[in-house]
Structure 1
Amino acid sequence: MITDTEFILKHIQQGCVTLSDGEFLIDRLVKYVGNGRIRWHVEFRGHRIELTTGQLKKQPTFRRKILEQAGVLPPQRAGAEYRRWAIELRKNAIVLPWRDRPVDAGFSIDRLVGHGDDRWTVEHQGKAIKFTTTKLRRQTSFRKRMLLKARVLPPQMDPAAYRKWMDWLIQNAAEAAPPTGDASVPEKSWLDDLPELAGWQDEALPEDID
């Protein structure tokens, strides 16, 4: 797997724009807290780049994320200088609750899978989020569970539009594949009923001898 440094060097060779200290000015940093997690949103020239605390502390990862999402490369700072800069940046961050973070634009799910007995799984970017029919049909429950389990907040929809969208999803849901191999339950054979049909009684088994 390519490292952050290799990724950055490759883009420098391709002629990406490298900014100087005076050019790289972040509009603001927002710290979203809640649900046991902290996320940082770097707002820069109309872009909103989401980072974890670890990604913000590591200069190569920070530069890579900005390069990937904003198309420009922040200046390279000495290690100690970058740490001081990142600490000062975090001190001046605006703190907001997680529920107030911007909705994820272009939200979509990969597919909805039905398991029967009012059980469903929403598949989203490699994650499988379990739902009951009731929670799936309630927009508040759906958004809350997606945020908790997949760390993504679906946009708020008009109630009628949400019901229409969810009805379409349920109608076009895929069915879970039946279990295979040892997990499958074999059909009961009529031979299994022979002792009962013959009036046999189960005899008490002797206790195991060590």
Structure 2
Amino acid sequence: MPTDSQYIVESIKQGCVTLADGEFLIDRLVKYVGNGRIRWHVEFRGHRVEFTTGQLKKQPTFRRKMLEQAGVLPPQRAGAAYRRWAIDLRKNAIELPWRDRPVDVDFAIDRLTSYGDGRWTVEYQGKAIKFTTTKLRRQVSFRKRMLAKAKVLPPRLDPVAYRKWVDWLIQNATEAAPQASDTLMSEKSWLDDLPELAGWQKDAPPQATS
């Protein structure tokens, strides 16, 4: 895995779009807080790139993520100049609750797999998230579990539209090969190994800092 700097150098060699100082003007920065988390969304030319505070402070990481997700490479600034720029950016951020994070309109799962007896896994960007039929059909449960396990909050749909979407997913689901251990697994025990989704109703206590 190349470092951020190595990746950027290779991308420059391949002719990526490098912006000059005056060309790189972000539309806005939004700070999402709650549940013990802070995330920053940089909105730029229709793209929305999510950062942690640490990623935003590190110029190589910031430039790499912008290159990967927005297709442009921000200008290289001197260390002190970048730190001042990042501080000013955070000072002028719009602060919103964590649950109000926007979602991409093109949200789509990779695959739904059926294990029989009301057990499913939703595959999304390399993650497999377990669901029972009940939790899959309830939009609130689906969105909560996707947020907790895949760090993405699916769009909120009209109830009728959500039911149609889930019905379509189920009709087109992939059947998993049966396994002997699966035959005695109930719908409840399918989720027993998953942690409770604490923090959805109330914020988690802030972590102690050293």
TM-score, with length taken from structure 2: 0.75
What are the within-5 Å matches in structure 2 for residues 71-90 of structure 1?
Answer: 71-90=71-90
The 1-side partners of 2:182 and 2:153 are apart by 37
Partner of 1:170: 170
Tell whether the 8 Å contact from 2:104 to 2:155 is kept in structure 1 after alignment.
yes
**Residue aligning to 2:205:** none
1:156 aligns with 2:123: no
For residues 138 and 178 of structure 1, do their structure 2 counterparts lie closer, same or farther at Cα, with a shift above 3 Å needed?
same
Which structure's relative contact order is higher, taking Cα pairs within 8 Å and 6+ residues apart?
A: 2
Given residue 21 of structure 1, which amino acid in structure 2 is its aligned partner? D
RMSD over equivalenced CA pairs, Å: 2.3
Structure 2 stretches lacking a partner, 5+ long: 184-210
The code of the aligned residue for 1:18 comes to T
* 1:1-210 pair list within 5 angstroms: 1-179=1-179
| Matches of 2:9 and 2:117, distance apart in 1 | 53
Question: Offset at 1:184?
Answer: 9.1
Deviation at 1:94, TM superposition (A): 0.9
Shift >6 Å, 4+ stretches: none
In 2 relative to 1, CA 94–177 (structure 1 residues): closer, same or farther, beyond 3 Å? same
Rate the CA distance shift 1:169–1:71 in 2: closer, same or farther, 3 A: closer
* Cα distance in 1 for residues equivalent to 2:17 and 2:132: 49
User: Could you say if the C-alpha distance between residues 123 and 79 of structure 1 is closer, same or farther in structure 2, counting changes exceeding 3 Å?
Assistant: same
Residues paired across the two proteins, number: 183
Name the CA distance, whole Å, in 2 between partners of 1:164 and 1:16. Answer: 41
For residues 53-101 of structure 1, the C-alpha deviation after alignment (integer angstroms, 9 at most, x for no partner) is 2221111111112222333321212223322321222122111112211
Q: Please tell me whether Structure 1 or Structure 2 has the larger radius of gyration of its CA atoms.
A: 1
CA distance, structure 2, for counterparts of residue 155 and residue 116 of structure 1:
27
- Structure 1 segments unaligned to the other structure (5+ residues): 186-210
Q: Is the 8 A contact 1:30 1:42 kept in 2?
A: yes
Give the whole-Å Cα distance in 2 for the aligned partners of 1:126 and 1:14: 27
User: Is the CA contact 1:110–1:125 (under 8 Å) kept in the aligned structure 2?
Assistant: yes
For 2:110 and 2:72, locate their aligned partners in 1 and report how far apart those are by CA, in whole Å: 31
Identity value in percent: 80
* CA gap 1:138/1:25 in 2 versus in 1, 3 angstroms: same
Contact 1:17 1:72 in 2 (8 A): yes
Contact kept, 8 Å, 2:47 with 2:70, in 1: the verdict is yes
Q: Is the 8 A contact 1:104 1:152 kept in 2?
A: no
Q: Say if 1:41 and 1:48, in contact at 8 Å, map to a contact too.
A: yes
Q: Is the CA contact 2:115–2:178 (under 8 Å) kept in the aligned structure 1?
A: no
Rounded to whole Å, the distance in 2 between the matches of 1:43 and 1:184 is: 45
Instruction: Give the 3 Å change call, closer, same or farther, for CA 154–20 of structure 1 in structure 2.
Output: same
| 8 Å contact kept, 1:35–1:148 | no
1:96-115: CA deviations, max 9, x gaps? Answer: 11221112221111222233
Do the aligned residues in 2 keep the contact of 1:105 with 1:155 (CA within 8 Å)?
Answer: yes
Secondary structure, aligned partner of 2:26: coil
